[in-house]
Amino acid sequence: MVRCTYARVSPRDHETTGGTDMAKKAPRRTAQRILEAALDLFNRFGEPNVSTTLVAGELNISPGNLYYHYPAKEELINRLYEGYEAELNELLHASEGVHDVEDAWFFMHTLFELIWRYRFLYRDLNDLLSKNRHLETQFQLVLKNKSRAIRQLIAGLSRAGHLEIDVHEVDTLAQSMVVVLTYWLSYEYVRNPREALEPAHAQGALMRGAHHTLHQLAPYLGREQRRHLLTLSHAYNGEDAGQHPSSSSNATPRVDMAV
Amino acid sequence: MVRCTYARVSPRDHETTGGTDMAKKAPRRTAQRILEAALDLFNRFGEPNVSTTLVAGELNISPGNLYYHYPAKEELINRLYEGYEAELNELLHASEGVHDVEDAWFFMHTLFELIWRYRFLYRDLNDLLSKNRHLETQFQLVLKNKSRAIRQLIAGLSRAGHLEIDVHEVDTLAQSMVVVLTYWLSYEYVRNPREALEPAHAQGALMRGAHHTLHQLAPYLGREQRRHLLTLSHAYNGEDAGQHPSSSSNATPRVDMAV
């Protein structure tokens, strides 16, 4: 079974020696509150649409106070990114503990929960990359690490005798899974820009994302594990995915549906 | 075999009755040149990073002349989008003519060529949607139409006896294919932001995109068609995908690779 622990977003140790007495008193707390407010606003409205002045206004602090903690918006973004990266790398290591589709489902769902909490990074990813040198280099590593974790997950299922795939197809499968994993929330956003990324839609979006990412494994799974995966998807997704998992098996009836 | 024809990007009929004699003389030509220059600059630098002043500068015309044809940047974007949409819908209909993997490969490659020509739409899609009401509604249709075309493609292969899939898994497969199709270039961009969207990288990116999108069909194909798909991918992709297609068949050896 996969075990995951989370590190919380935490501000860097406050190194500035200047500032007012008030700012000195509770620098950690204010820096942390700024991070949390920025994350919330970026997630809701998109990072390009949120100024530092808006973040300060949300917290009822002066722009100068925010500037004291984060002299540029880019620093705010980079601090949030570092929190995401730390959690992601810890979580991706858990792919080594995946031995069956139940582990895989739990792993994928936890990964989507993390992506959801930092969804602003994914919402305007290319725009962020074109403006931010640090993200530009670091996000390449994110994709590589995700890809390695998915290959480990596939290898774990294979070692347990649950999955059969030609070794030359593994990388293609892993990369397609990484693309669906990385861009599922963007896909949900395009389909429903006004609501998809609001908290009320989290559960459905995460479940659909995990379902579609993992379903790419389905045809390579043994009969029992395949059925179990479809049952898990059905149990969690409700009517959105795999409405009739009981009828799904390796004995695949031909499809000739009206489209 | 699929047959596809292209309509070129063309400016709307020039309806303005005002303007100078010079502007009256060749309004079509200038409007068209502005569209083409904007498309090129948007594709190279990203739409958020290209102002109308830059487009005018590129053409050695005054900002006022550009404004005469396109009073707002949004109109320029919408005109380009309309060109894309017209070509896309014509192309998507060709999915009805897909009867084997060679048709499917040609269809997918043509689709990726079109997406490449309008890659600025995909590069900053969510940012565009958040600022542009017209795109916000129209792009939802784009995804629906792509999804319908992919289901038609799956149905065509199924009718020809080349593919077997449980009817309840078709929608999940089609949606995952649409996600890879839609976000493949974004994925390439994140992996290599400085070069991925430059013209020199077009062929490799298109091939990898078509390969990864279509490979999701592979496990559902009959032995011969599956082998043919892997051979096509190999022939076009070189070392990037399916290095050893001759070893790929339905008799899949177990993978237990070091990752």
Cβ distance of B186 and A125 shorter than 8 Å: yes
Cβ distance of B178 and A184 shorter than 8 Å: no
- A54 vs chain B: nearest CA distance in angstroms? 18
Task: Report d(CA B56, CA B67) in Å as an integer.
Answer: 9
- A13 vs chain B: nearest CA distance in angstroms? 30
Predicted local confidence at residue B148, as pLDDT:
97
Evaluate whether B162 touches B102 at the Cβ level (below 8 Å): no
Question: Confidence band (pLDDT; 50, 70, 90) for A24?
Answer: low
Q: In 3D, which of A115, A93, A119, A95 has the Cα closest to residue A105?
A: A95
Q: What is the CATH number of domain B11-69?
A: 1.10.10
Q: What is the ipTM of this complex?
A: 0.82
Q: Which of B215, B253, B254 sits opposite A172 (nearest CB)?
A: B215
Q: In this predicted model, what pLDDT tens digit does every residue of A208-230 receive, in sequence order?
A: 999 999 999 999 999 999 999 99
> How much of chain A exceeds pLDDT 70, in percent?
80
Span B26-32, average pLDDT: 79
DSSP state of B95: G
Cβ distance of A253 and B182 shorter than 8 Å: no
Every domain of chain B and the residues it spans: 11-69, 88-258
Evaluate whether B209 touches B113 at the Cβ level (below 8 Å): no
Question: Confidence band (pLDDT; 50, 70, 90) for B116?
Answer: very high
- Do A11-69 and A88-258 have matching folds? no
Cβ distance of B259 and A215 shorter than 8 Å: no
| A positions 139-198 inside 8 Å of B (CB) | 139-140, 143, 148, 151-152, 154-155, 158-159, 163-170, 172-173, 175-176, 178-180, 182-184, 186-187, 189-193
Amino acid at B57: G
Q: In this predicted model, what pLDDT tens digit does every residue of A121-178 receive, in sequence order?
A: 988 888 888 888 899 999 999 999 999 999 999 999 999 999 999 998 999 999 999 9
Domain A88-258 annotated CATH 1.10.357.10 = yes
Q: In this predicted model, what pLDDT tens digit does every residue of B139-176 receive, in sequence order?
A: 999 999 999 999 999 999 999 999 999 998 999 999 99
Q: Which of B127, B172, B212 sits opposite A127 (nearest CB)?
A: B127
Cβ distance of B166 and A190 shorter than 8 Å: no
Q: Is B239 on the interface with A (CB under 8 A)?
A: no
Asked whether the predicted pLDDT for residue B9 surpasses 50, the reply is: no
